[in-house]
């Protein structure tokens, strides 16, 4: 039987929901699925790096060995052996983390939501970098904070600015390695200064680090959590070192906070899929990442070099861009009068896409910026796409 609605529903969304907006990137990605579009817009890792066979074998062995456990509900804080593995890997870097501090989440994006849920009230002061990760701004803004943008330069945020503006804030959200969107890396001295300043202010410092392992040259810089495990909240993810489709990340926090996050996690979705956590543990426990990650680093380093070369060749000299030493993104600054949102319309008409920079700013957006991702486009297409963009920009100078 099909029933008519005699009183049509007038959807009355909560004030919180009224704050929700679709991500600009997701809207752009809808256009870029057309095969003829050369897209530098996505934040997707390269599928060429996904260890499909290794994952299939792990699913097989977990299901045949412990299928009944893998398919059952599990604990809210996560699968204990994986939490232990994460605590041990972080401790090997010098942080001395215990498994009780690790909360497994359904992608670190969920970690951002849970942190906001337990730390932010309406009007709470929240410090973010200029610019910052759009997904974090979205996750936080649901809880209606007052965003305060920390000034940055070409090396990332300026710790000496935090002392003034950080008074009374609820948290500072930082991306020290190969930042999304700029590709910048925070130098060691600034990490130390930032950790010290936050400790002095009693300000929780969130270190979001999904790209840290993807350094092109040498080992990544020391993590801030290792400098002060009682004041830093570390967020990790398997999205960029294994695959994003498994939706698996983790938050490592001081015990009082992690217990509160666990309660929020329980209310949100009970727990992260037990099967996925067991499979990932099966994959990583014997050192697979140590052989796998160098293949990702190599691919991304080559693609990044291809884009740097194309930018140098085709972009006018009044345009500047970052030179990342890892990760997936390059940040471009155009002459002041060029609005990258308008440039995007023209670029899409020529089958090239990127993400305009404005949405990455919590306050005072700089319209003349944009983000390029180089990891999913082959080098010859990178050249073609950058050449087209270069022409469009040159026509405006």
Residues 370 and 161: their CA atoms lie apart, in Å, by 25
At 290, list the tokens.
Answer: 């140590």
Q: Which is nearer to ligand PMP, 252 or 338 (CB)?
A: 252
* Listed ranges 67-75, 105-113, 159-167, 262-270: which one lies at the site for ligand PMP (CB under 6 A): 105-113
Residue whose tokens read 């202010």 = 201
Q: Which residue has the tokens 């994959």?
A: 283
Nearer to ligand PMP, 115 or 347 (CB): 115
Smallest gap from residue 397 Cβ to ligand PMP (A) = 31
Instruction: Determine the longest span between alpha carbons in the chain, in angstroms.
Output: 69
Instruction: State the number of binding residues for ligand PMP (CB under 6 A).
Output: 14
Q: How far apart are CA 374 and CA 308, in angstroms?
A: 10
Closest Cα partner for 226 from 256, 269, 263, 195?
A: 195
276 near ligand PMP (CB under 6 A): no
Q: Is 212 in the site for ligand PMP (CB under 6 A)?
A: no
Measure CA of the first residue to CA of the last residue in the chain; give whole Å. Answer: 64
Overall size of the chain counted in residues: 397
Other Cβ atoms closer than 10 A to 69: 13
Distances (CA, A) of 28 to 89, 161, 231, 270, 342: 37, 34, 37, 33, 13
**Distance of CA 369 to CAs 132, 182, 247, 358, 373, Å?**
13, 10, 30, 7, 14
Minimum CB distance to ligand PMP smaller for 150 or for 319? 150
Residue 175 within binding range of ligand PMP, rule CB under 6 A: yes
Please report how close the Cβ of residue 166 comes to ligand PMP at its closest, in angstroms: 21
Name the segment binding ligand PMP (CB under 6 A); options: 103-111, 157-165, 271-279, 355-363: 103-111
Rounded to whole angstroms, the Cα distance separating 209 from 39 reads 24
Hey, which residues does 206 pair with through a beta bridge?
Answer: 173, 233
Work out which of 24, 25, 40, 43 binds ligand PMP, going by CB under 6 A. Answer: 43
Contacts with ligand PMP in 214-273 (CB under 6 A)? 237, 239, 244, 249
Please tell me whether residue 109 binds ligand PMP under the rule CB under 6 A: yes
132 binds ligand PMP (CB under 6 A): no
Task: Please pick, from the candidates 32, 49, 149, 180, the single residue that binds ligand PMP as defined by CB under 6 A.
Answer: 180
Q: Which of 108, 367, 368, 373 forms a contact with ligand PMP (CB under 6 A)?
A: 108
Annotate each residue in 181-210 with x if it binds ligand PMP (CB under 6 A) or - if it does not, as one string. Answer: ---------------------------x-x
Residues 371-390 touching ligand PMP, rule: CB under 6 A, are none
> Which residues share a beta bridge with 126?
147, 171
Which secondary structure element, helix H or strand E, spans residue 345, and what is its range?
A: helix 340-349
Select from 107, 131, 176, 326 the one that contacts ligand PMP (CB under 6 A).
107
Q: Which residue is nearest to ligand PMP (CB)?
A: 107
Nearer to ligand PMP by C-beta: 99 or 135? 135
Tell the smallest beta-carbon distance from residue 133 to ligand PMP (Å): 4
- Inter-CA distances, 240 with 11, 48, 50, 244, 306, Å: 38, 12, 9, 7, 20
Q: Of the candidates 135, 176, 220, 229, which one interacts with ligand PMP according to CB under 6 A? A: 135
Can residue 49 be called a binding residue for ligand PMP (CB under 6 A)? no
Q: How far is the CB of 396 from ligand PMP (least distance, A)?
A: 30
Based on the number of CB atoms within 10 Å of its own CB, is 29 exposed (0-12), middle (13-18) or buried (19 or more)? middle
Residues engaged in binding ligand PMP (CB under 6 A): 43, 107-109, 133, 135, 175, 180, 208, 210, 237, 239, 244, 249
């Amino acid at each position: 039987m099909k029933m008519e609605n005699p009183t049509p529903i007038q959807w009355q969304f909560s004030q919180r929901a009224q704050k929700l907006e679709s991500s600009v990137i997701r809207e752009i990605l809808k256009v870029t699925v057309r095969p003829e579009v050369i897209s530098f817009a996505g934040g997707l890792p390269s599928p060429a790096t996904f260890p499909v066979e290794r994952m299939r074998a792990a699913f097989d062995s977990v299901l045949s060995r412990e299928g009944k456990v893998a398919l059952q509900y599990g604990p809210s804080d996560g699968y204990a052996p994986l939490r232990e593995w994460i605590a041990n890997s972080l401790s090997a870097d010098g942080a001395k983390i215990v498994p009780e501090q690790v909360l497994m989440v359904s992608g670190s994006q969920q970690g951002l939501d849970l942190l906001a849920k337990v730390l932010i009230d309406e009007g709470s002061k929240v410090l973010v970098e200029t610019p910052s990760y759009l997904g974090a701004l979205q996750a936080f803004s649901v809880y209606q904070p007052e965003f305060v943008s920390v000034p940055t330069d070409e090396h990332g945020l300026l710790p000496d600015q935090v002392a003034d503006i950080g008074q009374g804030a609820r948290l500072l959200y930082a991306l020290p390695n190969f930042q999304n969107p700029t590709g910048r890396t925070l130098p060691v001295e600034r990490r130390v200064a930032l950790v010290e300043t936050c400790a002095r202010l009693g300000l929780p410092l969130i270190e979001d680090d999904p790209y840290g392992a993807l350094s092109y040259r040498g080992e990544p810089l020391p993590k801030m959590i290792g400098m002060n495990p009682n004041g830093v909240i570390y967020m990790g993810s398997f999205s960029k070192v294994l695959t994003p489709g498994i939706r698996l990340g983790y938050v490592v926090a001081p015990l009082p906070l992690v217990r509160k996050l666990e309660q929020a996690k329980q209310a949100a979705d009970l727990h992260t899929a037990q099967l996925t956590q067991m499979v990932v543990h099966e994959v990583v426990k014997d050192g697979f990442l140590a052989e796998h990650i160098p293949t990702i680093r190599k691919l991304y380093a080559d693609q990044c070099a291809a884009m740097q070369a194309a930018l140098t060749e085709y972009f006018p000299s009044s345009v500047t861009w970052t030179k990342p030493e890892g990760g997936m993104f390059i940040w471009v600054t155009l002459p002041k009068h060029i609005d990258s949102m308008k440039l995007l319309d023209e670029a899409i008409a020529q089958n090239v896409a990127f993400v305009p920079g404005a949405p990455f700013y919590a306050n005072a957006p700089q319209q003349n910026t944009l983000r390029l991702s180089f990891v999913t486009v082959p080098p010859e297409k990178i050249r073609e796409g950058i050449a087209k963009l270069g022409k469009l920009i040159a026509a405006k100078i």
